[in-house]
Amino acid sequence: MKLTFLGGAGTVTGSKILLEVNYKKILIDCGLFQGLKELRKKNREELPINLNELDLIFLTHAHLDHSGYLPVLIKNGYKGKIYCTNATRDLTKVILLDSGKIQEEDAKRANKYSYSKHKPAQPLYTINDAKNTISHFKTFETEKWHTIDKTIKFKFINSGHILGSTFIQLSINGKIIVFSGDIGRKKPIILNKYKYINKADYVVIESTYGNRLHENYAIKDKLLKYIKHTYLKGGTLIVPTFSVERAQEIIYLLSILKRENVLPNIPIYLDSPMGVSATEIYYKYINDHHLTVDDIKSMESTVELISDVSASKAVVNDKSPKIVLAGSGMITGGRVLHYLDKLISDKKNSILIVGFQAEGTRGRALLSGDTEVKFFGKYHKINAEVFKINAFSGHADQNELLDWLQHFKTPPILTIINHGEPHQSQALKVKIKSDLKWNCTVAKMNKVYNFA
């Protein structure tokens, strides 16, 4: 048995882990690289796998950094199945179709304004490529063992990160290896908490926040503070929003504030076709979260959902105060750019960052205090105020990661730390070694790890 990290090692993006065992090749996640240009360029590199020899893909959850490279594999000839939960399949369909659309639009815009060195610029994949990916999905129930062959079986276990997200527990030749994917919070806003696993010989664990603890305060109160502050300036509050999980959490909190009669009387929009579709999927899987029927009704009456392009343009051009939730969460593309194009240079407006911002993204640039940001082929002066709420994170912090690990009854033979920037992964490694006395290492890109 051996593992090779083809992404998500030394970075929080592009997650891909190749497992080779018993003459089988299995890929755990198939994510898109985002952020720094040197990382994004990897999306154009050929994956060092003979796709005719790849037997199976497991998907821990739907986020683009775990699923977004799937259409490339399908386009290049992968004919096998993609195993996941029902909710992950539904959300991934929405995310990949949106990604294909953005890829096409970005290439079209680059060609129109001639700001790409490629002549012509080509999308990494298209909407049709994304559509062709959907038929490869095969879904399974959680908390049950499923058989691949006589020596390999697997179980999906709720990880509490987003709707449908799971840990993958594999039993191979009597040895158990667990892939964490992304781990959620101990007390999620709307999801069910992550489950514990009591046995593993090998563990691969994420470390997005392996070096820090999340702030502990009432998120709802902080959200209201920034809403009121921007309203008193006569401005618009722009919330670059991850369309899956974060958008639904914010809508839920806004609905509570509305019920408490403390919100200013201004319109609230979710301007994201993907966010709209994802929100409807959340309403569908009522057993996978703790929202009540009344909660859902309140959410539906609080926020106006916008998918239509003409309606979006009307809101963008409306100069009156409002709250806008728009994708993408790291400001790497999507409709939020059109709002920023109109509003980022005016100091009466505010931008609220509500999630992790990968290195090299526009969101990270805003948080770093940059004075200008580039999109649509030109630089835009940043005069709008920039705020952040850290506690919104869907990733476990260091204490929560340790909490999950401590529930293994005996120490794994080896714990491999991935999906974190170097200082985050190293900090978690030190903590695991000092507190748990476990054998652990930090994953390195393209390094092969052999197991007995």
Percent of the chain with pLDDT over 90: 85
Confidence of residue 217 (pLDDT cuts 50, 70, 90): confident
Confidence of residue 265 (pLDDT cuts 50, 70, 90): very high
Is residue 60 within 8 Å of residue 38, measured between CB atoms? no
Tokens of 199: 């046995």
Tokens of 102: 């953005």
Give residue 112's pLDDT.
83
Give residue 285's pLDDT.
94
For residue 358, pLDDT over 90 is answered with no
Give residue 365's pLDDT.
96
For residue 298, say if its preceding peptide bond is cis, omega within 30 degrees of 0.
no
C-alpha R_g of the chain: 22
Tokens of 271: 């301007």
For residue 412, say if its preceding peptide bond is cis, omega within 30 degrees of 0.
no
Confidence of residue 274 (pLDDT cuts 50, 70, 90): confident
Give residue 359's pLDDT.
84
Give residue 102's pLDDT.
85
pLDDT tens, position by position, 163-188 = 999 999 999 999 999 999 999 999 99
Give residue 106's pLDDT.
84
pLDDT tens, position by position, 48-86 = 999 999 999 999 999 999 999 999 999 999 999 999 999
Give residue 387's pLDDT.
97
Give residue 196's pLDDT.
98
Give residue 76's pLDDT.
96
**pTM, rounded to two decimals:** 0.89
- Token match 């399974």: residue? 140
pLDDT tens, position by position, 311-323 = 999 999 999 999 9
Q: What is the mean pLDDT of residues 217-238?
A: 95
Residue of 88, 10, 58, 81 lying closest to 179 (CA atoms) = 58
- Taking CA atoms, 398 is separated from 10, 252, 354, 425, in Å, by 17, 26, 19, 10
- Taking CA atoms, 6 is separated from 69, 71, 402, 409, in Å, by 12, 17, 25, 30
Q: What is the DSSP letter of 397?
A: B
β-strands 152-158, 145-147 pairing: antiparallel
Rounded distance, CA 393 to CA 396, Å? 8
E strand segments, 61-117? 81-84
Give the class (CATH, top level) of 219-392.
alpha beta
The CATH topology of domain 2-212+394-450 is Metallo-beta-lactamase; Chain A (3.60.15)
Rounded distance, CA 449 to CA 436, Å? 22
* Mean pLDDT value across the chain: 94
Q: Where are the domains of the chain?
A: 2-212+394-450, 219-392
Q: Please, what is the Cα angle at 18 between 12 and 21, to 5 degrees?
A: 150
- Token match 């993408």: residue? 328
Give residue 356's pLDDT.
84
- Taking CA atoms, 220 is separated from 224, 257, 319, 377, in Å, by 6, 8, 26, 36
Is residue 241 within 8 Å of residue 333, measured between CB atoms? no
For residue 355, pLDDT over 90 is answered with no
Rounded distance, CA 311 to CA 336, Å? 14
Confidence of residue 157 (pLDDT cuts 50, 70, 90): very high
SS (H, E, C) 133-187: HHCCEEECCCCCEEECCCCEEEEEEECCCCCCCEEEEEEECCEEEEECCCCCCCC
- Token match 């652990």: residue? 440
Confidence of residue 258 (pLDDT cuts 50, 70, 90): very high
Residues in contact with 419: Cβ distance below 8 Å, sequence separation at least 6, in sequence order: 8, 9, 11, 12, 15, 182, 206, 207, 208
Confidence of residue 334 (pLDDT cuts 50, 70, 90): confident
Q: What is the mean pLDDT of residues 214-229?
A: 92
